[in-house]
Structure 1
Amino acid sequence: MKHLNIKIIISFLGLTSMLNGLFMLAAVPFSIYYNETEKWGILSAGLTTILLGFLLWFFNRNAKKNLQKKEGYLIVTLGWLMLTFTGTLPYVFTDSIPSYTDAFFETLSGYSTTGSSILNDIEIMPKGILFWRSATHWIGGMGIIVLTVAILPLLGIGGMQLFMAEAPGPSADKMHPRITETAKRLWLIYFLLTFTEFFLLKFAGMNWFDAINHAMATMSTGGFSTKNASVAHWNGSPLIQYIIIAFMLIAGTNFVLTYFALKGKIGKVFKSEEFKYYFFGIIGLTLLISFLIVNYQDPNLSTTINHPKPWGEVESAFRHAAFQVTSVLTTTGFVSADFTMWNSFATMLMFSLFFIGGSAGSTSGGIKIVRHIVMIKNSFYEFKKLLHPNAIIPVRYDGSGVPKNIIYNILAFFIMYMLIFILSSIILTFFGLDFQSAIGAAASSLGNIGPAIGSVSPVDNYAHLSIPAKWFCSFLMLIGRLELFTVLILLTPFFWNKN
């Protein structure tokens, strides 16, 4: 293709690989501490990844630094594939996950912060591998592409193309006029919140290893746990679950608003339309589902995974409702109770949240609340236009008019999202899943949620899927994490045309 700067793409992939290798090496001390033989496999995987990255970067280090949109899209998509392929090496080198398909699925599920797993017994896995598994969440949560732009400004390339392609949500509000400064501040907030949650979980009774893994999984809205029962393992410790609820809520909030909150500008937070819908929506749904659980729950159905409590206990009902609503809406995917065992109306409400998503500019996946707000407002706008065809009635969001091109982009995204969901559900039935499991796996993978309904419910996993189904769900996780267009645009002929 004319003018495509191949060398800068390969150079950037090399830098991404080197950073990924350094993160792998961070898992080695955990293996050493727990006296695991897998330390050598993790060390070898990290060094191999660093060497591969160094070679890619070294032979392309003199590439011209100009970066256009096409290169930006290719770097982000290929960068995520590079992360995934190299990220499988700790699993492969230690033989922790013998099947490469399973290793790829688990790795991409980590980086995309989906949290779907093929592991049948998490608790027998080596600690070093479990840390690496959680680290893939943490890296993918904010995006290693943003990290690279933040700490390597010496590249001298245009970071905004990468930031816009990588940052979650329909917009990437900046906290600072320089993109590198924005990325640095985002990562600083991300790190500080992760450390704070780790400290609080440790104080609440988790051991240090579980605390650091769950802190990384929470702030990335990923959902990988170190326990087979997920957070339901701590159903006897309400404080632990309330801490995780609070940090899931923060992680699903636009990080720019979190930045303002940390600076004491709380007024700016509650002026955000999206935050108000997000925050009060969680409260409203929690109260509604709590009411359904207390008053309409079938007493013959188990309410929790490993530590049932009577649903007559209002606190228990409120906590599990709050936990699961926040977990699904923020696309974290932690589990404190099996919501598919609640009454049908409550279960259907939970499934509907698969199509909402968290806030734009957060680590959440899904469609994002701001898109729903704009689409609903635009629909009312169309009703008004039917009555007053000559009137100029702008769609307003946060007090400002929304440009038509943004509205068209949001409508196109939503149509594409729902079309992919429908087609994916059909394809997954072809791969052997029943109807309920197919729509659950499709919605969960595309929305980066994790547990779903059917045979992939909160008490099940994805191990039983066929090999083609696992690769297809991996593809859905990737396009969902990168907001559809970033990947799908590469499949269009006009992207590759020479003009």
Structure 2
Amino acid sequence: MQLNIVFKTIGLLLMIFSLTQLPPILVDLIYAEQQYAVFLIALLLTLGSGLLLWLKFKNTKEKFRIREGILVVVSFWFVLSLFATIPFLLSDALQMSFSDAFFESMSGLTTTGATVIVGLDELPKAILYYRQQLQWLGGMGIIVLALAILPMLGVSGVELYHAESSGISKDRLTPKLAQTAKVLWLIYIGFTIACALGYYLAGMNVFDAVGHSFATVAIGGFSTHDASIGYFDSVAVESVAVVFMFLAGINFSLHFFVWRSNHINHYYHDSEFRAYVVFLSLLIVVISLYLINTGQYQSPFEALRYSIFQSVSMATTTGFASANFSAWAFMLPVLLIFSSFVGACAGSTGGGIKVVRILLMFKLAAKEIKKFIHPNAQINIKLNKRSVAENTLVSVWGFFSLYIIAFVFIMVALMLSGLDQVSSFSATAASINNLGPGLGKVAANYSSISDSAKWILSFSMLLGRLEILTLMALLHRAFWRF
């Protein structure tokens, strides 16, 4: 294991991350709420720590291997969350414990959207902006952003890219990795600007429009108000949110191919996209019919309005709320939580198992049924009209097995910490799927759970963000054999 290159890279990434403390300082100067010192201290501590690491190992010439890439990605998400707690700990407006601050920063950077903060409407604007910015940075992955910069600093990042993008997705969009990172971030920034403009035209003020665009495109779910999107009680605002949650849940590689060819057909020809649309449509229909039949709302229009928003929000693992869905009748709250298990598309900013994995598992199940009926038949599983390699199918089932095992262990650990069964199940689903809202004690926020439960869920968020395999590889003893 070449730890020198690991420490050098973490130092460089910390120095890059320290610069993200500048926008909150600017926001505080605009609103004059005397919070700038908090972010200035955070900037200096993060920059200083990164600089010390880099100076110690700057002459390192080793090349990255996959093991170093995995170690950098996992350790950096932890270290980044650690340094991201500084503004939360120093702000007099919050008075947070270290466990709460770490939970909040991990939730932001992993785009989970679970919060322990109550009274968001009264917080300083700089703190609110900082929370939203954490999700925006975590959405595309600060590692991917750094890939556009690291080559200029003499660090090769191929292994970082593969460790960060561990899900099933398209390969590099362009021949050069740094160029790929830039293309992804240009699309990401373009969506963010368009979303912010849409929110502003729908009636939000500039601050709320920018903040919510960060959380929407990142599929994060943090809001500047306790009532989330429901605070605005606006069909126009909800419509903008639905459009951009849907777009952010699509593979960003697919967005690139559509943009490059200037033709929308790439969407229609993609098997995962079609399954994504069908899944969302069926979920909306089921939720709408139940809400209409149970008379939850006064008119069918209201039932359709809230069903569309909550279905897209939960299925894409955004976690925004326009209504108290946990109080809906029958199995609707549980159904919405289960929709987050499917999640968004691979290569998107969403969480969950991912649509393409679920699609492949269905195809594999259908293949086994056909093989049972026709034992000698040669049946290929195809995706986008191409046969799927056997090792890919094994990888999908391996991921699913690890997912189930991790889910059970985390849920049991939460129950041992004192949470009831419903709260434990939904909190595990909300964290490992990077969803945010749950049921029971965690329906509104996570402030009432124990510190031990918060640390368990923080681990679960990181596990979900890195799609399990990356973190599990680090925990395997074979990884550390020199």
State if a TM-score over 0.5 links the two structures: yes
Distance across 2 between alignment mates of 1:98 and 1:268: 47
1:22-33 correspondence to structure 2 within 5 Å: 22-33=19-30
Q: Which amino acid aligns with 1:495?
A: F
Q: CA deviation at 1:349?
A: 2.0
Q: Paired residue for 2:90?
A: 93
Q: Paired residue for 1:473?
A: 457
Query: 1:169, 1:362 within 8 Å by CA — same for their partners in 2?
Result: no
Q: Paired residue for 2:475?
A: 491
Q: Paired residue for 2:439?
A: 453
Alignment gaps of 5+ in structure 1:
299-310
Q: CA deviation at 1:58?
A: 2.0
Q: CA deviation at 1:156?
A: 4.2
Q: 2:232 aligns with which of 231, 234, 250?
A: 234
Q: Which amino acid aligns with 2:451?
A: I
Q: Paired residue for 2:197?
A: 199
Does 2:54 align with 1:57?
yes
Query: 2:9, 2:155 within 8 Å by CA — same for their partners in 1?
Result: no
Distance across 1 between alignment mates of 2:355 and 2:46: 37
Q: Which has the larger displacement, 27-36 or 258-267? A: 258-267
Q: Which has the larger displacement, 468-477 or 14-23? A: 14-23
1:236-251 correspondence to structure 2 within 5 Å: 237-251=234-248
Distance across 2 between alignment mates of 1:447 and 1:203: 32
Q: CA deviation at 1:387?
A: 3.0
TM-score (norm 1): 0.94
Give the SS at the match of 2:219.
coil
Q: Which amino acid aligns with 2:141?
A: G
Does 2:395 align with 1:398?
no
Query: 1:151, 1:184 within 8 Å by CA — same for their partners in 2?
Result: no
Distance across 2 between alignment mates of 1:491 and 1:480: 15
Distance across 2 between alignment mates of 1:493 and 1:423: 19
Q: Which amino acid aligns with 1:482?
A: L
Q: Alpha carbons of 1:424 and 1:112: their partners in 2 closer, same or farther (altered >3 Å)?
A: same
Query: 1:172, 1:361 within 8 Å by CA — same for their partners in 2?
Result: yes
Q: Paired residue for 1:307?
A: none
Query: 2:21, 2:39 within 8 Å by CA — same for their partners in 1?
Result: yes
Query: 1:168, 1:364 within 8 Å by CA — same for their partners in 2?
Result: no
Query: 2:150, 2:157 within 8 Å by CA — same for their partners in 1?
Result: no
Query: 1:320, 1:337 within 8 Å by CA — same for their partners in 2?
Result: yes
Query: 2:316, 2:340 within 8 Å by CA — same for their partners in 1?
Result: no
Distance across 2 between alignment mates of 1:423 and 1:199: 43
Distance across 1 between alignment mates of 2:326 and 2:189: 34
Per-residue CA deviation, residues 97-116 of structure 1 (Å, 9 max, x unaligned), is 43010000000000000000
TM-score (norm 2): 0.97
Distance across 1 between alignment mates of 2:421 and 2:282: 30
Query: 2:423, 2:442 within 8 Å by CA — same for their partners in 1?
Result: yes
Distance across 2 between alignment mates of 1:468 and 1:124: 28
Distance across 2 between alignment mates of 1:318 and 1:273: 27
Q: Paired residue for 2:358?
A: 372
Q: CA deviation at 1:122?
A: 1.0
Give the SS at the match of 2:148.
helix
Q: Which has the larger displacement, 148-157 or 95-104? A: 148-157
Q: CA deviation at 1:404?
A: 1.0
Query: 1:67, 1:158 within 8 Å by CA — same for their partners in 2?
Result: yes
Q: Paired residue for 1:308?
A: none
Q: 1:118 aligns with which of 108, 116, 119?
A: 116
Q: Which has the larger displacement, 87-96 or 100-109? A: 87-96
Give the SS at the match of 1:53.
helix
Q: Which amino acid aligns with 2:400?
A: F
Q: 1:79 aligns with which of 76, 96, 100?
A: 76
Query: 1:84, 1:107 within 8 Å by CA — same for their partners in 2?
Result: yes
Q: Paired residue for 2:40?
A: 43
Query: 1:143, 1:167 within 8 Å by CA — same for their partners in 2?
Result: no
Query: 1:297, 1:342 within 8 Å by CA — same for their partners in 2?
Result: no
Q: Paired residue for 1:274?
A: 272
Q: CA deviation at 1:345?
A: 3.0
Q: CA deviation at 1:168?
A: 5.9
Distance across 2 between alignment mates of 1:284 and 1:261: 26
Distance across 1 between alignment mates of 2:131 and 2:362: 38
Q: CA deviation at 1:249?
A: 0.3
Query: 1:168, 1:361 within 8 Å by CA — same for their partners in 2?
Result: no
| Cα RMSD for the two superposed structures | 1.4
Q: Alpha carbons of 1:425 and 1:157: their partners in 2 closer, same or farther (altered >3 Å)?
A: same
Q: Which has the larger displacement, 259-268 or 270-279? A: 259-268
Query: 1:164, 1:171 within 8 Å by CA — same for their partners in 2?
Result: no
Query: 2:100, 2:116 within 8 Å by CA — same for their partners in 1?
Result: yes
Alignment gaps of 5+ in structure 2:
none
Q: 1:350 aligns with which of 317, 320, 336?
A: 336
Query: 1:331, 1:448 within 8 Å by CA — same for their partners in 2?
Result: yes
Q: Paired residue for 2:144?
A: 146
Distance across 1 between alignment mates of 2:85 and 2:126: 14
Per-residue CA deviation, residues 286-307 of structure 1 (Å, 9 max, x unaligned), is 1221121112245xxxxxxxxx
Distance across 1 between alignment mates of 2:205 and 2:139: 23
Query: 2:73, 2:164 within 8 Å by CA — same for their partners in 1?
Result: yes
Q: Which has the larger displacement, 312-321 or 34-43? A: 312-321
Per-residue CA deviation, residues 25-57 of structure 1 (Å, 9 max, x unaligned), is 211011111111211111111121112111211
Q: Alpha carbons of 1:156 and 1:391: their partners in 2 closer, same or farther (altered >3 Å)?
A: farther
Per-residue CA deviation, residues 42-75 of structure 1 (Å, 9 max, x unaligned), is 1111121112111211221221141000000001
Q: Paired residue for 2:420?
A: 434
